[in-house]
Amino acid sequence: MADTDVDVTPTTDDAPSSAPEAPGSEGGSDLWSVNDAAALYRVSEWGGGYFGVSREGTLLAFPDAGASSRIDLYEVMKGLEAREIGTPVIIRLPGILEHRMRDLRRAFDNAINEASYGGSYSCVYPIKVNQERHVCEAVRDIGAEIGFGLEVGSKPELIAGLALTQGFNSMPLVCNGFKDAEYIETVILAAKMGRNILPVVEQFSELRLIRASAAQHDVLPNFGIRAKLATPGVGRWAGSSGMRGKFGLSVGEILHAVGFLKAEGLLGGLKMLHCHVGSQIFDIRTVKYVVSELAHLYVELVRAGAPVEILDFGGGLGVDYDGSQTATDSSMNYSLDQYAADIVYRVKTVCDEAGVPHPNLMTESGRALVAHSSVLVCEVIGSREFRSEPDRTLVDLALAADEPPQPLLDAYDAYRRLGADDDLLEVYADAEHALAEATNLFNLGYMDLRSRAACEELFWAVGTAALERLYDELPDALVHLPDRMADLFFVNMSVFQSLLDSWGIDQVFPIMPIHRLGEEPTRLGVLADITCDSDGRVDRFPGVGGVKTTLELHAPPADAPYGESGSEPYYLGIFLTGAYQETLGDLHNLLGDTNAVHVVLGPDGRWRIEAIVEGESVREVLSYVQFDPEEMRRRLRQDVESGMEEGRLTLSEGARLRRFLDDSLQGYTYLE
Ligand SMILES: Cc1ncc(COP(=O)(O)O)c(C=O)c1O
């Protein structure tokens, strides 16, 4: 850990942009360097300065986005191995979270100073983005120092928010989401108790609940109103906004609300105007429109006598998952500084023109604060590749039949033409046609299994050769080839538990090996998880100019295939997973929460594990679906006993099976 060499955090200028020469080739070139790996996996594009590649070919995290303090993630994995903490494991890096929060503070402070803006800025972290207690507590502790708070959106989150802010009375706690009388009353009583808590009205009926609770407890509560803006949201969360959005009050309803509040003597409590047009706003133009619309609404409310002090622009600050800096779903076309400057400048301009005071500004940035701070590390437990050489024995036997079927002869002919100077496109097309014909004949009962298998072998050999030779400039007709020929890398994880947005909304996440980066990857692969679901795969990765459908990975050593006992683990890191993935995940196949560790840098510059959060055990996940693990254990033990009594199991086999069942119930839900 203590090595002081300067490590590679390449910029686009100094990093060569080479891709592996020819996937499927037997070995890497001698010229490969860790710079090539950093460029290939686009570390500086998506890493936000928090990740880089060491001279030793391992992946480094830089918690403060500077190269001086770093955590070697491969070294951490070795440390976890020694502690018998298995994969998949989330490595949480609170240092990055702290840096993200301070950077947001800095960006708004700068913008406010530069524009001589009269109000202040605060961010309230929406705990739904990552509700894990350690994460929330870290946000709370740093937030207390820099004037940030928390946001909650449901009753359980409200209780968590109240508990988290205990002893932090001045910390803002914004309450969104649908509310019933109990929710409103709890908030109003918490405010009476001295908390800085602000419910945001999402529906007109909530105003009536506020009125009732205010009357019952004889207080004038502070609250906000969420505006339903005309500005449409963008991307996958476009439905959060627009006239037909699910949340908030339309302009007409807001006017009506002001009348209602005046009549009820409650207008003095209207302290905040709020909006949220969706997560991951990828286009800065949307930010500009939203800010202008909300600022003008604010001006009108002030003119109508409402004492609004805070403009809350909700969440949406994006994360550049694929590093392309474009207005596309997994990216964004603006920087944090631009975001802050646009909000501050636009609100100031609108207010100055109208002659109203500058309000305090607030955002509910979640994704942008926590995404970078978690890395999911999983192990490759096997791989399947298509052979570039067909099984000669099989092919020869099939050809030696009395009357070899025509598709087999065609496939063989295509394979033989690989050695000649023939047009590769034509050869590939012939092999593909032969395979299709072979499949048809087999399905009709006119081809035997051996001939069909030989056809497949020959087709894969032709396809692999075509890919190797044409990879650098794939003709249009073969753009599908990398996908078709890609190896399958099996990884010990569940996409549904740990990477739900990859499956559900095609979100791209950066994925790369966290070691062996000094070695050229020679395979192209897609990832397949251990669920029994064909959707449990990842085949979208950050690539040059957008998304690529295969990932360059390392072949297993010839004598030690991945996942076999005695072979070295091959670890892949899945990055930017700190936002939403951990809590959205589900129990598909009863694969539960993964292990998680919090890794920080000590004063001596060495990393240490601050907390270990064990993943769920088999016992726990079974009980979620109403199985009683104790009862199951008793019954299974009885079964084993009968097996021994009836002589179907020896005593030692019975003892082994019983131990296995006991251990399994206590054990991790993933392969160990
Ligand atoms: C009301 C509200 N605020 C804040 C957020 C957080 O958004 P983000 O994570 O994009 O910052 C959300 C998420 O969709 C939300 O619904």
- pLDDT tens-digit map of 510-547: 999 999 999 999 999 999 999 998 899 999 999 987 89
Ligand 1 nearest-atom number relative to CA 367: 9
Element (H, E) at 378: strand 374-384
Lowest-pLDDT choice from 222-231, 256-265, 554-563:
554-563
Q: Retrieve residue 125's tokens.
A: 């972290």
User: How far does residue 205's CA lie from ligand 1's centre (Å)?
Assistant: 23
Strands (E), 76-230: 89-92, 121-126, 149-152, 173-175, 197-201, 223-226
Nearest to 139 by CA among 111, 165, 121, 167: 165
**Tokens 């009753």, located at residue:** 155
Considering only CA atoms, which of 148, 106, 157 is closest in space to residue 337? 106
Instruction: Quote the ligand 1 centre to 349 CA distance (angstroms).
Output: 26
Indicate if the pLDDT at residue 67 is higher than 90: no
Query: For atom 4 of ligand 1, which residue has the closest CA?
Result: 315
Residue nearest atom 12 of ligand 1, based on CA coordinates: 315
Q: Are 570 and 382 a contacting pair, CB within 8 Å?
A: no
Which of residues 365, 387, 410 is at a domain's end? Answer: 365
Query: Has residue 306 been placed in a domain?
Result: yes
Which candidate, 626, 487, 661, 634, places its Cα nearest to that of 562? 487
Cα-to-chain-centroid distance, residue 306: 41
Asked whether residue 358 is assigned to any structural domain, the reply reads yes
For CA atoms 19, 25, 29, 33, give the dihedral sign: positive
In terms of pTM, does the model score above 0.85?
yes
Residue-level pLDDT at 5: 36
Beta carbons of 512 and 548 less than 8 angstroms apart: no
Examine residue 572 and state whether it is found in any structural domain, yes or no. Answer: no
- Residue 457 half-sphere exposure toward CB, CA atoms < 13 A: 20
Residue 332 falls inside a structural domain: yes
Residue type, 655: A
Mean of the per-residue pLDDT values of the chain: 91
Tell me the residue range of the domain where 633 lies.
Answer: 619-666
**From atom 7 of ligand 1, which residue's Cα is the shortest distance away?**
315
Residue ending a domain, choose from 340, 365, 390:
365
**In this structure, is residue 315 part of a structural domain?**
yes
Question: Is 36 within a domain?
Answer: no
Tally of domains in the chain: 2
Nearest in space to 425 (alpha carbons), one of 479, 388, 376: 479
Q: What is the CATH number of the domain that holds 330?
A: 3.20.20.10
* Pairing outcome for strands 571-574 and 511-513: antiparallel
Q: Amino acid letter at 467?
A: L
Alpha carbon distance 538, 487 (integer Å): 12
The reply to whether 264 falls in a domain is yes
Task: Give the pLDDT confidence score for residue 234 in this predicted structure.
Answer: 67
- Closest C-alpha to ligand 1, atom 5: 315
CA atoms within 13 A on the CB side of 232: 6
Does ligand 1 lie within 6 Å of residue 581's CB atom? no
Confidence category of residue 84, pLDDT binned at 50, 70, 90: very high
Among 314, 332, 365, residue at a domain's last position? 365
What is the Cβ-side half-sphere exposure of residue 35, based on CA atoms within 13 angstroms? 11
Instruction: For residue range 273-324, list pLDDT tens digits in order.
Output: 999 999 999 999 999 999 999 999 999 999 999 999 999 999 999 999 999 9
In this predicted structure, the answer to whether residue 389 has a pLDDT above a threshold of 90 is no
For the stretch 8-49, pLDDT in tens is: 443 333 333 333 333 333 444 568 999 999 999 999 999 999
153 CA closest ligand 1 atom index: 1
448 found inside a domain: no
Question: Assign residue 102 a region: left if phi > 0, alpha if psi is -120 to 50, beta otherwise?
Answer: alpha
The answer to whether the CB of 233 falls within 8 A of the CB of 277 is: yes
How much of the chain, in percent, has pLDDT values that exceed 90?
82
